[in-house]
Amino acid sequence: MGEPASLTTPRLFLSLPGSDDVDAIFDACQDPLIQRYTTVPSPYTREDAESFVGLVAEWWESGTEHVWAMRAGDDLVGVVGLHRIKDGAAELGYWTAPSGRGQGYTTEAARAAVNFAFGPMRLERLEWHAVVGNHASARVAQKLGFQLEGVRRKGLDDGGQRADGWIAGLLSTDPRTEVSWGL
């Protein structure tokens, strides 16, 4: 329950996505990997981007999801969120536009979201889910200190079909330093 919180990292500003971001979100979500590996609709329309920015404000208000736009200067480079916030736990999710990848932006933004979850929000556990084989997402989770907890057989949708899913967790008491899952 509350007002959207803005977060600052060394290179990024994280704040509520708004109507000025619709074009950038629409463009980024044309990316096949974002459509495949996240829960965004596929195909992704401009109306999807418009309804998303409206919903995000409601989610902040109700306290069910906290979603931030990752901004590098004037550019929206991605979106990071804490989803399914309930009973002291939440799920970390992120996507970054293809042009913004490989620069550590996702790790930097997600680290700020993690610190917010375990700091002001006082959560005790964060979960991360990804389709088995989504190594870029797994690298980000490892850099944040998430521990691999297993594989959920056919646990996720992978572009329209069921696929095995990795699950990893980070507790508020865990070190937030890079780990290796030996994948």
Q: Which residues bind ligand COA (CB under 6 A)?
A: 33-34, 37-38, 94-96, 100-107, 130, 134-137, 139-140
Compare residues 2 and 154 and give the one whose CB is closer to ligand COA.
154
1 versus 175: smaller Cβ distance to ligand COA? 175
3-class DSSP state of 161: strand
**Measured from the CB of residue 104, what is the shortest distance to ligand COA in angstroms?**
4
> Rounded to the nearest whole angstrom, what is the least distance from the CB of residue 3 to ligand COA in the complex?
26
Tell me the C-alpha distance between 1 and 172, whole Å: 21
Q: Which is nearer to ligand COA, 9 or 96 (CB)?
A: 96
Helix (H, G, I), strand (E, B) or coil at 116: helix
- Using DSSP bridges, classify how beta strands 125-131 and 89-96 pair: parallel, antiparallel or unpaired: parallel
Minimum Å distance from CB 132 to ligand COA?
11
How many beta carbons lie within 10 A of that of residue 149, not counting itself? Answer: 12
Distance CA 111, CA 10 (A): 11
Task: Please state the closest distance from residue 99 (CB atom) to ligand COA, in A.
Answer: 10
